[in-house]
């Protein structure tokens, strides 16, 4: 019985530590017999040494890398601080690497992703060499004040960049489940020029993240990509709002009132108005409405309007307060509370919050909750 138990445990041990949890790397570095090479691993945003490998008398070494099948990782081989090879490994891979001491004559077999990574790095090297050469020529032409040559080189640089980016996009589309797409997305052509640096490039980040999520849901790189997508989408949304702000003079709001009728903030353009954010659940803010009603009665005949946004979640309760207080201006609420896009659009983190706009849509004052002071500010407006 004891013997059977031990056999079962041994079998389980083989399964749990089987080939799907590790990759075998065979390395040959001609001319480096008896020397040491370094195996490093990329950990999202930094490279850490995994081990130092001693080459035998033939310049060869075999090493088992601990890596899960569903969580690929980037590994690097270096000699005398010179990178010899990059590998993209996952559990089950059996990789053969042959390279000289300068990183030349590289041959990789047994890992489809590592082979593809090597191809990408070769293309990057070829592109950057030409790009740097053209950039050097451009600087020289600018210094020599050769305007025609400057125009020609600028055009050639732009054409070279676009052609390379299109090829990278085509590669992403052709191989949606390849982990090398992470490398493609984060290519930095120089310290100030990422390949996918435009705001609209978030579409490519999202496509790669969604595709890899289906194959490698546990990967830390996929999680980082998802976070990156969220940040870029927020930046794009902010950019779009700012563009709208340039056209409208202020960011647009479009929210429903107590009868579900939608009111746009842009409908007030051409009139001075108050934009106020509040909640009907705070007694002091409800009391301030009485001061607002008196000032509205005084200045509305001259043209003043109020657009009041509630941050309440309970829309029924909010609507009841609006009706009971007989608030005569535009009152709107989307029911999302602190998650309302209206609050985020205007950067509101505390309530109440107030913005006073002139007829041109320019903010002239903020957060004046003293009745007398607000009266003086409204009197200054041109009606």
pTM score of the predicted model? 0.58
Same domain for 375 and 260: yes
Same domain for 220 and 281: no
pLDDT > 70? residue 37: yes
Same domain for 166 and 78: no
If pLDDT is split at 50, 70 and 90, which confidence band does 354 have? very high
Same domain for 259 and 242: no
Domain that residue 102 falls in = 19-110
Same domain for 240 and 262: no
Q: Identify the domain boundary among 110, 145, 168.
A: 110
If pLDDT is split at 50, 70 and 90, which confidence band does 255 have? very high
Q: Identify the domain boundary among 187, 213, 246.
A: 246
Which strands, in side-by-side order, build the sheet including 36-42? 47-54, 36-42, 73-79, 82-89
Same domain for 375 and 263: yes
Q: pLDDT digit string (tens) for 59-101? A: 999 999 999 988 999 999 999 989 999 999 999 999 999 999 9
Which strands, in side-by-side order, build the sheet including 353-357? 330-333, 305-310, 273-278, 353-357, 363-366
If pLDDT is split at 50, 70 and 90, which confidence band does 294 have? very high
User: Bigger pLDDT: 188 or 374?
Assistant: 374
Query: Would you say 293 and 249 are in contact if contact means Cβ atoms under 8 Å apart?
Result: no
Classify residue 2: in a domain, yes or no: no
Classify residue 13: in a domain, yes or no: no
Nearest alpha-carbon partner for 281 in 333, 342, 329: 333
Same domain for 242 and 124: yes
Classify residue 14: in a domain, yes or no: no
Q: Identify the domain boundary among 69, 94, 110.
A: 110
Total domains present in the chain: 3
Classify residue 309: in a domain, yes or no: yes
Classify residue 6: in a domain, yes or no: no
Q: What is the pLDDT, as a whole number, of residue 377?
A: 93
Classify residue 125: in a domain, yes or no: yes
CATH number of domain containing 31: 2.60.40.1120
Same domain for 200 and 102: no
């Amino acid at each position: 019985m004891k013997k059977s138990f031990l056999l079962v445990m041994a079998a389980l041990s083989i399964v749990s530590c089987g080939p799907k949890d590790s990759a075998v790397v065979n390395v040959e570095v001609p001319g480096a017999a008896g020397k040491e090479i370094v195996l490093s691993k990329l950990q999202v945003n930094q490279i850490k040494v995994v081990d130092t490998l001693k080459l035998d008398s033939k310049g060869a070494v075999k090493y088992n890398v601990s890596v899960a099948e569903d969580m690929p990782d980037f590994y690097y081989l270096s000699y005398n601080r010179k990178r010899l090879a990059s590998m993209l490994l996952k559990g089950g891979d059996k990789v053969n690497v042959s390279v000289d001491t300068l990183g030349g004559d590289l041959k990789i077999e047994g890992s489809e992703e590592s082979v593809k990574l090597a191809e990408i790095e070769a293309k990057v090297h070829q592109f950057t060499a030409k790009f740097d050469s053209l950039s050097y020529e451009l600087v020289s032409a600018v210094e020599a004040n050769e305007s025609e040559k400057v125009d020609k080189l600028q055009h050639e640089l732009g054409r070279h960049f676009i052609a390379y980016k299109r090829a990278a996009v085509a590669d992403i589309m052709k191989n949606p489940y390849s982990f090398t797409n992470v490398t493609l997305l984060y290519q930095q052509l120089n310290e100030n020029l990422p390949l996918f640096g435009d705001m609209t490039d978030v579409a490519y980040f999202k496509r790669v993240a969604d595709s890899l999520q289906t194959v490698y849901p546990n990967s830390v790189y996929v999680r980082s990509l998802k976070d990156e997508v969220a940040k870029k989408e927020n930046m794009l949304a902010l950019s779009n709002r700012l563009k709208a702000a340039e056209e409208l003079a202020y960011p647009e709001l479009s929210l429903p009132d107590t009868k579900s009728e939608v009111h746009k903030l842009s409908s007030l353009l051409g009139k001075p108005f108050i934009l106020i954010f509040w909640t009907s659940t705070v007694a002091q803010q409800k009391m301030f409405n009485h001061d607002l009603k008196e000032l509205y009665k005084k200045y509305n005949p001259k043209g003043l309007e109020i657009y009041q946004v509630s941050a309440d979640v309970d829309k029924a309760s909010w609507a009841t307060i609006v009706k009971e207080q007989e608030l005569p201006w535009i009152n709107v609420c989307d029911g999302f509370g602190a998650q309302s896009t209206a609050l985020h659009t205007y950067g509101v983190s505390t309530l109440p919050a107030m913005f006073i706009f002139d007829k041109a849509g320019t903010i002239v004052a903020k957060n004046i909750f003293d009745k007398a002071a607000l009266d003086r500010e409204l009197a200054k407006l041109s009606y």
